[in-house]
Amino acid sequence: MICRRWGNVCCFNISREIKKAFMYNIILVFFSLLVISTSTYAQELPQFNVRAVRLRATDSRDENRMRQALQIFEKVMNDTAFQRKLLDTTFVFDLPDDPMRTLSPKQICDTLFSGKEWYDTDTDHTADIFWECTKRRIRPPFTSTIGYGNPNDSTINTYIFFVRNRKMQDIVGNLAHEWSHKIGFDHRPDNHPERERTVPYLFGNLVEKFAKKIYSW
Ligand SMILES: [Zn+2]
């Protein structure tokens, strides 16, 4: 038998059918393992929704950007690779009397995915978003503030200059950070090295990173 690939020097005298069957089996096993590995992670955290309960903006262009940010946030939360990364994250609590500090990493993820905001305590696996973008068209000098929120107010306030001018992934990451406060996660107000490892910062930064991957249109 003359092997087409090797000319007259044929090392493996295997018929084409056996080779084909062998390759099919290899491919089948590979994809089965892939499905098993992704479904294992996908089952760990529930399907998640992001819902605009109330959006306010000064014009339709800004409102469209806000709606797009909400869609991307939902996509990120349901992304298997994102969930895997979140489950592998170790968080820090920088407030000594934080009631959340006894939670394990898995319990932190479950709490985020429960969608239980202080103003809507149903485990509905939904981020119920109250979001306003109605102030500060121009960024004031010497400040890095991009919005504000009050503990007893369900509304996330983001300044116009941020929603209008910043990259979409930054807006989505900031929204995720602010929403995690509504779920009950907190951090100290002052800037210190460990603050970046608290739940709002790590969660917001991870959402931002994956939003960048998803936002491609
Ligand atoms: Zn914060």
CATH of 48-214, one of 3.40.50, 1.10.3470, 3.40.390, 3.30.70: 3.40.390
pTM: 0.81
Q: Does pLDDT of 71 surpass 50?
A: yes
188 Cα–ligand 1 center, Å: 8
Cα R_g (the chain), whole angstroms: 24
What secondary structure letter does DSSP report for 4? T
Flag whether pLDDT at 204 surpasses 50: yes
For the stretch 115-140, pLDDT in tens is 999 999 999 999 999 999 999 999 98
- What is the side-by-side strand order in the sheet with 126-133? 49-57, 126-133, 155-158, 147-148
C-alpha torsion 94→100→102→107, nearest 10: -120
Distance 46 CA to ligand 1 centre (A): 25
Looking at residue 144, its pLDDT comes to 86
Instruction: Using CB atoms within 10 Å of the CB of residue 209, give its burial: 0 to 12 exposed, 13 to 18 middle, 19+ buried.
Output: middle
- Residue 186 CA to ligand 1 center (angstroms) comes to 7
Q: What are phi and psi of 140, to 5 degrees?
A: -70, 150
Residues 92-107 pLDDT 10s: 999 999 999 999 999 9
Contact (Cβ atoms closer than 8 angstroms) between residue 126 and residue 134: no
Q: Is 184 left (phi over 0), alpha (psi -120 to 50) or beta?
A: left
Whether pLDDT at 214 is above 90? no
The letter for the amino acid at 55 is L
Q: What is the mean pLDDT of residues 37-66?
A: 86
The CA 200 to ligand 1 mean position distance, Å, reads 6
CA of 176 to the centre of ligand 1 (A): 10
